Structure 1
């Protein structure tokens, strides 16, 4: 294994870090709010692009058929999400992003003057190569299986199973409201059911996201340990010359 190969791995890691740091320095999308033109429904979208509140207003029955209420909520969400994302993209400073990414990359690569083992220490601890390989293969297999799985969605229901909210990492995917149930209840009851369903859906989606973050962190840790292990092997096969 050549020093050039090890240096290339370190460059790749430095580049990934520079992109991450630069992206974190940019302003995040702001909260989005919107109401349909007839004043029947209002939605609030958090910076992650998920609905944080969905409300129907008193008297909605005069303007919207009960069977159309769920589709109206979904349509309004998509409009507000598009407006919010458009505003964020217009505020994104691409020049600053590129310059910060390059500055971070250069800073990381300046460490290349250190001996390979010394440089690898900040990235992880050396491991037994065979054990490390087995863990990496298991982690990659789980990642491939997850990538091949259908898109993640999470559905929440109210206690009476009259209202459902379906979320995905990209936002609201579906909203159903039993039309006969909605006609028998006022706006406050519909809103309570929407809150309950939304809370359940968000909790389920967050649970899945936490598992994904843990898996991504494990892959990152394995990459760091692999880099440190390669550096250790490099020093074993190419010991420093005695002066």
Structure 2
């Protein structure tokens, strides 16, 4: 076991801990609800932050204009997500920001291994050495080394997935009047509703349309 490999293991342990610390803690089991600032739309998300319900008020057109419906849905979803994390509901100013233009993927500061990280690595190495000793009669040293390096590659993959989770996807209604954008974790980040179509719909009809759309998810 080289010092470089031990140092890399400690660095990976520190980076994994750093990434995990960025994830807020969920407040309870849910469901969690929220509404847009005008009260035209309410939404519910589950413990994982997945949208489970959208309800449009029966008198929604007296509260917002049809072309504001998509933004109201997004606002309700954001408010429900905030409740899930124990945060206050977002303000109009928060919802007005174009978050797609805000850089959220900047470089994280270098993760410096702590004594606890190094101790954890030492314990892992000790356990791995025991595995190697136990396996000595069943595999060559080259095979044992390959097994250990495979485990190290898996740890690298975990940190990579946390840092770069993947691409957004879209849900589109059958009549193509509603479009929801989902992040890689299945959480809604945007909503578009065709305003001329929405203007002819009741709150109940819109709520049913969203329910049918959400049922399309795998």
TM > 0.5 fold call: yes
Matched, 1:160 2:175: yes
* Whole-angstrom CA distance in 2 between matches of 1:121 and 1:176: 60
* Whole-angstrom CA distance in 2 between matches of 1:13 and 1:119: 21
C-alpha deviation, 1:54, in angstroms: 1.4
Mapped contact 2:54–2:211 kept (Cα < 8 A)? yes
2:91 is matched with which residue? none
How is 1:1-243 mapped onto 2 (pairs within 5 angstroms)?
3-8=2-7, 11=10, 19=17, 28-30=26-28, 31=30, 32-87=32-87, 106=119, 109-110=122-123, 112=125, 117-120=129-132, 126-127=145-146, 152-169=167-184, 171-200=187-216, 202-203=217-218
Bigger radius of gyration: 1
Q: How many residues align?
A: 171
* Whole-angstrom CA distance in 1 between matches of 2:64 and 2:201: 15
Q: Which has the higher helix share?
A: 1
Mapped contact 2:36–2:79 kept (Cα < 8 A)? no
| Structure 1 vs Structure 2 CA RMSD | 4.4
Shift of the 40–27 alpha-carbon distance from structure 1 to 2, 3 Å rule, reads closer
C-alpha deviation, 1:82, in angstroms: 3.5
C-alpha deviation, 1:165, in angstroms: 1.0
TM-score (norm 2): 0.56
Shift of the 15–38 alpha-carbon distance from structure 1 to 2, 3 Å rule, reads closer
Cα deviations across residues 132-186 of structure 1 (Å, max 9, x unaligned)? 7xxx7xx98xx79x95x9x611111122111111111363222122222223232
Q: Which runs of 5+ in 1 are unaligned?
A: 89-100, 204-243
* Whole-angstrom CA distance in 2 between matches of 1:105 and 1:84: 34
Mapped contact 1:156–1:164 kept (Cα < 8 A)? yes
Mapped contact 2:70–2:192 kept (Cα < 8 A)? yes
